[in-house]
Amino acid sequence: MLSESCVCVCVCVCSPEDYFTHGSEDTENSKLRFRNCQTLWEKMKADTELLQDELNRKILDSLLAFIRKSVSTFQRGTDDWASRMRAHEIPTAALVLGVNVPDHDMTFQCLSDQLQQSVTPFVVSVQATECAGQSCRVLERLMGTSVSVGNEEEPEQRSTNVNQKRVHCSLITLCNWYKTVTKVCTASGTASKKRTSVGKDMQQHPPIVVIFKDLEAFNSRVLQDFILICSRYVEQLPLMFVFGIATSPSTIQHMLPHSVSSLLGIELFQSLSCTQHLASVIDKVILNSQFPFKPSGKVLQVLVSIFLYHDFSVRNFIKGLQLALLEHFHSQPLSVLCCKKEAALVHATELSHRDVERLQQLPSFMRYVEEQGPQEQVELLTSDDHVKEVCQKLLKDLHKYHKNYYPILRCLHILTSSLPKYPLGKQIRELHISCLEKNVWENEEYASAMQLLRMMAKDELTSALQMCAEILKPGKTTKMRAALLQLDNLLTLLEMKKSRRTKKMSPFEILRDQALEFIDSLVRSHLAPPESQPLYEVCYYSSSAVLRRHLNATPRTSIQTALSNPYHYLKDGTVSNAAPDICIVYKLHLECGRLINLYDWLEAYATVVSAAEGMDPDSADFGKVDELKHARFIQAVSELEFLGFIKSTKQKTDHVSRLTWGGC
């Protein structure tokens, strides 16, 4: 929904629908834009969550298999478990997730849910912030889980037992609790109810899985002690650890000495890299003709730059994309046409006169009008009905443009991504941005790529063109079908052993040139920038500066703006004319040197406050320091010190040191 936290900065004082309709002359248009925006928002969210599940499925399945395999030894009996665990090894999965830390919560939540659904109800997650009371945290959360498994106790008894176990926090308590709970669960028939999903034996002794979400942030000494204690109880408890690692598996060696790490039976699991995950999201959401909203090249560059140079978070990248979606539908009244083809055509026939005027003012539509004959120009500028008919045609053409654009983009990427030095970009997003900015065939890199492609061997070129043919097969437009037919003919000629010979060029060289000329013609026909298409403004969001201002945090600039010009933020009419005390103190400190005399500062503050309060300059009380002003001044100075603008100094007791540059 549009009320999620990622856009609360924009809609914090009103509901999402009010955000669209507030101050709008055309309420129906605003409501329709809101509904379209909400539909696309939910589709984007659902698609990305589904993609996240698909990308995590392989590694999560491997983790589940490892945990099932490890616990199966314990199920065969205590003797077998003890013989295998003679060295007190605890099965440990080292899950390397990468540096995109904001994305890890979703992965761990998915892992925890799958473990609880199919393996064990005893799953607990701990973070480094809980390191001090780690053992108690584990026990408390497991006790809560046990209450939900065994339903024989009364609510009053459950709460009493939990409180008692929190007081007696030890692994012995956990052992006794585990034996009691597993016996109760088996006796009550809980195991038989889930026998089809996880098996009878596994339910009799489900493992206890402890997930350490951020291993690098844990206190190594506390972690060592916890592992040493747990290793003494592996014969009684089927304990298992999952280490969430952001950097490298060698972190375990750096944090744990050999005497401790040898107590762990570690198996390594490597997740998909964040850049591969980002490529999948871009391919699913952006490089898709079925999704009508499109970020411009500059907007996409802003989002990718924040991803690469800030936190590598795909989750935050999606939030930025959602913010761009919201801003587009809020700022562009004609975004009412940004939806599926059928709905867009219906909306085009229902445009109001005001919407038609907006349509006529679009730069792309004005260029289209200038290209028409005199009579057609008159019709387009005077007849609303004719404009609506033309709008339907142009929207159809825009949808065809996208259906032809993305297959040819993928074909060009396949041909050029493996070339030396990646002249057009190894990632398809780089090639896409180049195509959005200007005619890609006018780039020097494009000419270099074509020269390198003319040096390709027969097998390499044939393989690349076959991949292009597979990309073009799903295409349903007439031009894509014609391109596929011509490409198939070229492949048939390339694969023939015998062909007509010439003196100057070999048969393969002739066919290679023909194939590359054909690819070049497709590029020039279908990879023109979206600005060349009439009504592209309906689907494309290009306000990169607005998006950058929302996403790039600049706290220092914001603080200085607030202190220098508080009414930039305080735009409420109920605010008094007098500036806040901290702003007055801040401006006065700008007039001082490196050391500021507190008494002189106080007197200057009292004078400014007296003037702001409208006191008579000739009165005896003007600029007088009373107890109230003194207290307000002390509070303002304390706030300024907290923000880091000043600090106390030992040079002079009645002075403070200024920490910002500049003076009188």
Model pLDDT, residue 148 = 34
176 pLDDT higher than 50: yes
Q: DSSP character for 442?
A: G
Distance in angstroms (rounded) separating the CA atoms of residues 468 and 302: 30
Lowest average pLDDT, out of 60-69, 255-264, 433-442, 519-528, goes to 60-69
What is the token pair recorded at 328?
Answer: 């587009």
At residue 553 the predicted structure's pLDDT band, cuts being 50, 70 and 90, is confident
CATH dotted code for 555-658:
1.10.10.10
For residue 514, the number of C-alpha atoms closer than 13 Å in the C-beta half-sphere is 17
What is the token pair recorded at 521?
Answer: 């013609």
Percent of the chain with pLDDT over 70: 83
Taking only the tens place, the pLDDT of each residue in 114-150 is 888 888 888 998 888 876 667 777 877 777 644 333 3
What is the token pair recorded at 124?
Answer: 């607990």
Q: DSSP character for 507?
A: H
At residue 206 the predicted structure's pLDDT band, cuts being 50, 70 and 90, is confident
> Is residue 245 a contact partner of residue 95, using CB atoms and an 8 Å limit?
yes
Phi, psi of 610 (to 5 degrees): -60, -40
At residue 190 the predicted structure's pLDDT band, cuts being 50, 70 and 90, is very low
548 pLDDT higher than 50: yes
Q: Residue 654 in 3-state DSSP?
A: coil
Global pTM exceeds 0.75: yes
Residue with tokens 């609360």: 8
C-alpha angle with apex 47: 46 to 49, nearest 5 degrees? Answer: 65
In the chain, what are the domain boundaries?
Answer: 27-272, 276-546, 555-658
Model pLDDT, residue 9 = 38
**Contacts for 51-57: CB closer than 8 Å, 24+ residues apart:** 51/280, 51/281, 51/284, 52/106, 52/110, 53/110, 55/272, 55/277, 55/280, 56/107, 56/110, 56/271
At residue 75 the predicted structure's pLDDT band, cuts being 50, 70 and 90, is low
Model pLDDT, residue 476 = 86
Distance in angstroms (rounded) separating the CA atoms of residues 170 and 216: 25
70 pLDDT higher than 90: no
State the average pLDDT for the chain: 83
Average of pLDDT values for 245-250? 91
Q: In what order do the strands lie in the sheet with 655-658?
A: 595-597, 655-658, 646-648
Regarding predicted confidence, which is higher, 556 or 340?
340
Model pLDDT, residue 575 = 44
Pairing of strands 123-126, 264-270: unpaired
Distance in angstroms (rounded) separating the CA atoms of residues 37 and 337: 11
Lowest average pLDDT, out of 388-392, 484-488, 588-592, goes to 588-592
All residues at 6 or more sequence positions from 376 whose CB lies less than 8 Å from its CB, including other chains: none
CATH topology (fold) of 27-272: Rossmann fold (3.40.50)
Taking only the tens place, the pLDDT of each residue in 490-513 is 998 887 754 444 446 788 888 899
